[in-house]
Chain A
Amino acid sequence: MRTSAALITLILALAAPRAMALDMGDALLKAWEKKDAIVKTTKALRKGFQELSDEEEYYIGRAVAARILTDYKTVNDPAKTEYLNTAGQTLALYSTRPATFAGYHFRIIASGEVNAFAAPGGFIFVTTGLLAHVKSEDQLAAVLAHEIAHVTLKHGLGAIKSANLTQAFTILGTEAVKEYSSADLSALTTAFEGVINDVVNQLVVNGYSRTQEYDADQEAVRIAYKAGYNPSGLAEFLASLAAMTAGDSKELGFYKTHPPAGERKSKVESFITKKKLEGAPSQARDARFQARFM
């Protein structure tokens, strides 16, 4: 009897596979959409920065980038800029977020400070002061991967104070229209300003926590390794920074916002040893780096 039932089902399946698949597909799709609808109605208000959409992250990142580019001038060197973006955009593909709302973009900014900033959404800045201490493409890749890691780990968004986020989410949660009323738009813009201040303060003034920097270092090693770079690039770069601090510490930017380079180097080396990550320098990469930066 069971065999007959199975055979009938089989015959039906073979006779009309497309129709059957569509029916089953529709049923499953309806169930899935019903589940979505339930979640939507019970989730009127968003709770934390993790629930910001990629588009919102992008608009926050644009405003943060605009603040940075108001204070720092960009270096207009097409060859270096293209090289930086080619390396950076390649590395990003090996991160946990290969794409953001409008992609990753990299820019050199004119400052003697040894520093780099990653605005949410993938707007990444590297100072001329930092680049002066980078000696190879593997080291440059490590620096860029570290900044990409701050984006993928959403460290910038994590700096937003809950009061600003709650204010914004309250307005957004009650508004279902595409165009805001002027009162709501005004309140939302005030909340947006608070959000931008929080992120800029974290990036430029206070810096991330030691834990966040160490996490970004580990993620940078992973990204660089997966992309095929020598994973020791970061440790090499940090070693040269540690040596610089031992002598002259005039370039305060990096040290205002990052843990001691020596400590970071030790942790990175331990991580590489523990994970048995191997790699080697490359003459081809060194040559193209030197053609642009040395």
Chain B
Amino acid sequence: MKRFGAALLVIAMAAALAWAAGKVTVIHKKTSLRADKQFFAPALAEIPYKESLEALETQNGWIKVTYAGKTGWIHSSAVSGAVPAAEKKGGALSLFGGDDDKKNVAQEDVALAGKGFNEQVEKQYKQKNPNMNFAAVDEMEKITIPGDKLAAFVQQGGLEARSYEN
């Protein structure tokens, strides 16, 4: 009976801890809310920069969140915030690795305060250096391959993901 009670208590505690994962903030221009915990999973929505989200659960470097009424997974490398470090690191990420240990407090602080080298600094830099070819950089940034094309490329090329042990 004692053991049964203790086991149930552990389960209740674990549930509470999972609930307490905390808030995360998107620190990239945007990040995809995915249907599953992998990059090739269908994107349910695009979450914009600085969006604050409740972390419902964390698994292997992926965080479960709800955005715009849809629940899915975002990769921890795209967020900063109150996710315990041990969870954020995710240990050995199952398929697609990600060292997310650089998303420190300074990162979040800089992002949220709008501090740092930003659009305003770039604008000033452009005024001082009008010959710099930023138009070509803007064009380059538009080149993004959708997830389904990447998945087809992987399949057609016989690219089977492998784990790497140090």
Binding site for B on A (CB under 8 A): 3, 6-7, 9-10, 13-14, 17, 20-22, 24-29, 32-33, 36, 39-40, 43, 46, 50-56, 58-60, 62-63, 65-67, 69-70, 74, 81-82, 85-87, 89-90, 93-103, 105-107, 123, 137, 168, 172, 175-176, 178-180, 185-186, 188-189, 192-193, 195-196, 222, 225-229, 282, 284-285, 288
Q: Given the complex of chains A and B, what is the CA–CA distance between A27 and B8 in angstroms?
A: 21
The answer to whether A10 touches B137, judged by C-beta atoms less than 8 angstroms apart, is: no
Q: Is the CB of B110 within 8 A of A56?
A: yes
Q: Is B16 an interface residue (CB 8 A)?
A: yes
Inter-subunit contact B164/A225 (CB<8 Å): yes
Asked if A24 and B16 make an inter-chain contact with CB atoms under 8 angstroms apart, the answer reads yes
* Separation of A176 and B116 alpha carbons in the complex (Å): 10
**How many angstroms between the C-alpha atoms of A40 and B101 in the bound complex?**
17
B116 touches A179 (CB 8 A): no
B120 pairs with A179, CB closer than 8 A: yes
Contacts of A27 in B (CB 8 A): 20
Q: Which residue of B lies closest to A285 (CB)?
A: B157
A21 partner residues in chain B, CB cutoff 8 A: 12, 15-16, 19-20
- Interface presence of B67 (CB below 8 A): no
Flag if B158 contacts A53 (CB, 8 Å).
no
Contacting A at CB under 8 A, from B110-155, are 110-111, 113-122, 124-125, 128-129, 131-134, 136-137, 139-141, 143-145, 149-150, 153-154
Question: For the side of the interface on B, what is the size category?
Answer: 35 or more
CB-based contact B28/A85 at 8 Å: no
**In the complex, what residues of A have CB within 8 A of residue B68's CB?**
none
Closest chain-B Cβ to A154's Cβ sits at a distance in Å of: 9
On whether A185 and B124 interact (CB within 8 A), knowing A29-B20, A74-B136, A87-B153, the answer reads yes
Instruction: State the CA gap A21–B18 with chains docked (Å).
Output: 9
Q: Are B31 and A99 in contact (CB under 8 A)?
A: yes
Q: Let me know if A90 and B153 touch, CB within 8 A.
A: yes
Contact B111 A62 (CB under 8 A): no
Q: Which residues of B contact A123 (CB under 8 A)?
A: 137, 140
Assembled-state Cα–Cα distance A193/B99 (Å): 30
Q: With contacts defined as CB atoms under 8 Å apart, how many contacts are there between chain A and chain B in the complex?
A: 240
Q: Which of A20, A46, A90, A102 has a CB less than 8 Å from the CB of B141?
A: A102
Smallest CB separation, A2 vs chain B (Å): 8
Given contacts A70-B133, A89-B150, A105-B143, contact A193 B78 (CB under 8 A): no
Given contacts A90-B159, A228-B161, contact A54 B143 (CB under 8 A): no
Tell me if A98 and B77 are in contact (CB < 8 A): yes
- Whether the Cβ atoms of B97 and A226 lie closer than 8 Å is yes
B6 within 8 A of A: yes
A86 to B157 alpha-carbon distance, docked (Å): 12
Separation in Å of the A292 CB from the closest CB of chain B? Answer: 13
Given contacts A90-B159, A94-B96, 13 further A-B contacts (CB under 8 A): A25-B20, A32-B22, A43-B105, A50-B102, A62-B137, A65-B136, A66-B134, A67-B132, A89-B145, A90-B154, A100-B28, A101-B27, A228-B162
Is there a chain A Cβ closer than 8 Å to B104's Cβ?
Answer: yes
Q: Which of B8, B84, B145 contacts A86 (CB 8 A)?
A: B145
Q: Is the CB of A282 within 8 A of B116?
A: no
Q: What are 25 A-to-B residue pairs whose CB atoms are below 8 Å? A: A7-B5, A10-B9, A21-B15, A21-B19, A25-B17, A39-B105, A51-B104, A52-B117, A53-B27, A53-B111, A55-B27, A66-B136, A90-B150, A90-B153, A95-B97, A96-B97, A97-B77, A102-B28, A103-B29, A176-B115, A185-B121, A193-B128, A228-B158, A229-B159, A288-B157
**Are B6 and A29 closer than 8 Å at their CB atoms?**
no
Q: What is the bound-complex CA distance between A185 and B141, given in angstroms?
A: 26
CB neighbours (8 Å) of A14 from chain B are: 8, 12
Smallest beta-carbon distance A192→chain B, Å: 5
Contact of A53 with B82 in the complex, beta carbons under 8 Å? no
A6 adjacent to B121 (CB under 8 Å): no
Complex CA gap A75/B72 in Å reads 39
Q: Do A99 and B28 touch across chains, with their CB atoms under 8 A apart?
A: yes
